[in-house]
A and B are shown apart, each in its own frame.
Chain A
Amino acid sequence: MRKPIQSSERGNVLLCVLCTILVVSIIGGNVLLNCMTRYNAASSQVRSWKESIDAAETGGDIAYAEVRKKILDPTHAFSGWTYSGGVYSNSPVTYGNDSLATSAKVDLFYYDPNGNPWYRIRTTGTAPVLGLKRVGMDDRMGPNNHGDSLLRKIDFNYDHFVATYGPNGDGLNKALVPVSRPQVTRRVELISAPITPFEAAIKAGGTFYGLGSAAYVDSYRSSTGAYDPNVRLNPNDPRYIDALSGTVEINSAVATIMGNIYGNVYTNGGTVTKNTASITGIIDNNVPFSLTPFRMPDISGWTYVSNPSAVTGNTTINPPAAGSPESPSYYLMTSFVTNGNLTVNAYNNNGTLQETYVAMHVTGDVGSTSGQGASITIANHVHLEVYFDGNFGAKAQNIINNSGFAGNLQFYAISPTDPSVQQTIDLNSGGGSTAGFAAVFYAPSANFTVNGGPDIVGAIVCKNFYANGNVHWHYDRALDNTGDAVDYRLISYVEDTR
């Protein structure tokens, strides 16, 4: 008789195998657990946190594009956005493989002294957190350290921001809002500031020729005193620092420069020829820029005044109110005849002259190159902006700005809609070599010509520049924040890290 093998011996083997599997499983599980923690943190949470700021900044870009349209394409600015309570808002935009979402709110929160609006852009960007619902790795840093949680605030079940601070972050309308899946939301606030056009003495989008051999371009700052021709030659003068900013910017390779430039010269890949030694500042041949066509600004906030409606002969404007930079008295002129003589007076309030803001749109030419050309006189306290659709012709002696501050007399040449039409601005000195004026011109589509040697305080932005005389050109550094907005730039960035 043969005894069968006892089953208990097989049982021991099975037990050993199970124990081995258990040990291996525990080790494997531990490894997997650690791996998943890191995978969650590294792959999902860090990625989502970075993607959410990308989304928020994308929302900022979208809103910024709409703000720029306020200048460049006003009729389509904020098209499709909702406007309520002074705030533009858009529907959430979803993009990318990870379905990032962004939305923005834009409000006009400030008018600067030029009457240009400043816009605040508030955006949110949301990115889903994929993977398991696991917190970060604070546990690995010891007690009381919450580096991950303080940095990357993940909404697993509810939007913590709305629950704690309200949807606008102002403590109002707090609510427990469930989220459909774990997500990270980041919020940024951007400030969009207007760019004013007169940041250099002369800025030519095309070619440049000039000035005369005895001409010069220098600068001063009217807020620190009147122009003094000796300052630029005296390094010990405290105003000397403001005397060497007669900068000339040329967006072409053609730059024929004569005379003395007390400032920098920039070209777009060009070689400065002729009197280069007379340039006190730097010569940089790698400064391209573009000038966008100028359009008539939004006049909806301006106060329309019907009379006069044309400048024929001697025409005087006595504004009915002082107005303000953002709401000037507005005149629509159907013509400004060749020998038209316009005088603009300040608003008199019970014997006290007020700072008076006047805007004028001439739908044709302003004067001409024949005869006397246009004559314009503005009294002290007057801030006049002249917009014109056609050409401009005048003698320097006939442009009289009694305040002496160029920013008080601004000319804007509205770009022709027909690209084959070449707009022109012609200034003749007249009245001797010292005759001059204080004014600024923004004419990105016009050819600007100066004949003779007038004495000019101001700045010019034009297409092609030509001057053949011994012009004395004084750029006022106070002009760098003067004028209508010609574009916008973002100058402030804040993240709401709560």
Chain B
Amino acid sequence: MKIKSSQNVAGFTLSEMLVSISLSSIVLAAAITSGVSLQKSFSAVDNYFTTHMQQIRIIDYLNRDVKRGLIVTTSVDLQSVTMSLPNYIIQSSDTEGIANPSLVGTPRTPTISYTSSGWQVNYSPSNSTVVYSISGTSILRTENGVVTTIASSTDQLVPSTTDVELANTEYAKTSVTFSPIFTSNGSVASRTGTSLYATAYLRNKRRG
């Protein structure tokens, strides 16, 4: 009996191998390139949204403090905001807290006084000072010397706040921009396109 050789187990010819390797290389190269591009794109978009969330956070922090502020002032370059807030809660370093430690952490009952500009509500003789500033890639909030990093991004976050004083009211207009890392040219337009705006009014009677 003669054993019949099978064509199915025969190897590829050299030309078949070359063609298949070429095609495979092209497909693999395309896949790798696509993968890298997708990864970069994903990373950029991920970073974009992360920075966008930090924009919102900066705005939320600022608005919360402006609303309860007594005095709000902005620096000449508009990138630093200083505000005075009522000392609502008794701290351990406050006079009342030292005299009676059980009062620490409790809200104050305000006192009322009449000044040349009308009635004033005072929660304590001194107020808290809060400063928003930029430090490198971070946005800092400093309250009575205690620093909190409220945002940090390599996308160059820049808040800009304008303090507007009118006869009977005051408000702060804030815009926060960043330059997305996937834009290589760093153009003004790319930064402007990320702008987030907000306006917050002082709810308290202005003192500054």
If the complex has contacts A109-B109, A141-B151, A148-B57, are A31 and B64 also in contact, measured as CB distance less than 8 A? no
Whether B150 pairs with A491 at a CB distance below 8 angstroms is: no
> A residues 138-153 with Cβ under 8 Å of B?
140-142, 145-148, 150-152
Q: State in angstroms the CA–CA spacing of A72 and B106 once bound together.
A: 34
Q: State in angstroms the CA–CA spacing of A137 and B53 once bound together.
A: 9
Question: Residue B89 at the A interface, CB < 8 A?
Answer: yes
Whether A38 pairs with B205 at a CB distance below 8 angstroms is: no
If the complex has contacts A142-B152, A496-B88, are A31 and B42 also in contact, measured as CB distance less than 8 A? yes
Chain B residues near A50 (CB, 8 Å)? 60
Q: Mark interface residues in A137-176 (1 if CB within 8 Å of B CB, else 0).
A: 1001110011110111000000000000100011100000
Chain B residues near A169 (CB, 8 Å)? 106-107
Q: State in angstroms the CA–CA spacing of A171 and B101 once bound together.
A: 12
Interface SS, B side: mixed
Whether A110 pairs with B152 at a CB distance below 8 angstroms is: no
Interface SS, A side: mixed
Q: State in angstroms the CA–CA spacing of A152 and B118 once bound together.
A: 35
Q: State in angstroms the CA–CA spacing of A55 and B90 once bound together.
A: 26
> A residues 252-287 with Cβ under 8 Å of B?
none
Chain A residues near B12 (CB, 8 Å)? none
Q: State in angstroms the CA–CA spacing of A120 and B149 once bound together.
A: 34
> B residues 1-54 with Cβ under 8 Å of A?
6, 8, 38, 42, 46, 49-50, 52-54
Question: Residue B67 at the A interface, CB < 8 A?
Answer: yes
Chain A residues near B110 (CB, 8 Å)? 109, 120, 191, 492
Q: State in angstroms the CA–CA spacing of A34 and B56 once bound together.
A: 18
Whether A145 pairs with B88 at a CB distance below 8 angstroms is: no
Whether A491 pairs with B60 at a CB distance below 8 angstroms is: no
Chain B residues near A120 (CB, 8 Å)? 109-110
Q: State in angstroms the CA–CA spacing of A491 and B204 once bound together.
A: 6
Which of A41-49, A332-340, A427-435 forms contacts with chain B?
A41-49
Whether B60 pairs with A46 at a CB distance below 8 angstroms is: yes
- Name B201's closest neighbour in chain A (CB-CB): A493
Chain B interface size, under 10 / 10 to 19 / 20 to 34 / 35 or more: 35 or more
Q: State in angstroms the CA–CA spacing of A383 and B194 once bound together.
A: 63
Question: Residue B121 at the A interface, CB < 8 A?
Answer: yes
Whether A494 pairs with B123 at a CB distance below 8 angstroms is: yes
Nearest-CB distance from A160 to chain B (Å)? 14
Question: Residue A193 at the B interface, CB < 8 A?
Answer: yes
Question: Residue A498 at the B interface, CB < 8 A?
Answer: yes
**Among candidates A53, A140, A151, residue contacting B150 with C-beta atoms closer than 8 Å:** A151
- Interface, chain A (partner B; CB < 8 A): 3, 27, 31, 34, 38, 41-42, 46, 49-50, 53, 109-110, 112, 118, 120, 137, 140-142, 145-148, 150-152, 165, 169-171, 189, 191, 193, 480-481, 490-498
Q: What would be 9 A-B contacts, judged by CB atoms less than 8 Å apart?
A: A38-B49, A42-B52, A109-B109, A142-B152, A147-B151, A170-B107, A492-B204, A492-B205, A493-B67
Apart from A112-B119, A147-B150, A171-B106: 17 A-B pairs, beta carbons within 8 A: A3-B6, A3-B8, A49-B60, A120-B109, A140-B53, A145-B149, A146-B148, A147-B54, A147-B148, A151-B61, A151-B150, A152-B60, A169-B107, A170-B106, A191-B110, A492-B110, A496-B88
Q: When A and B form their complex, which 10 residue pairs have the shortest distance between CB atoms, in order from nearest?
A: A493-B203, A492-B121, A147-B150, A170-B106, A145-B149, A494-B88, A191-B121, A141-B152, A38-B49, A140-B50
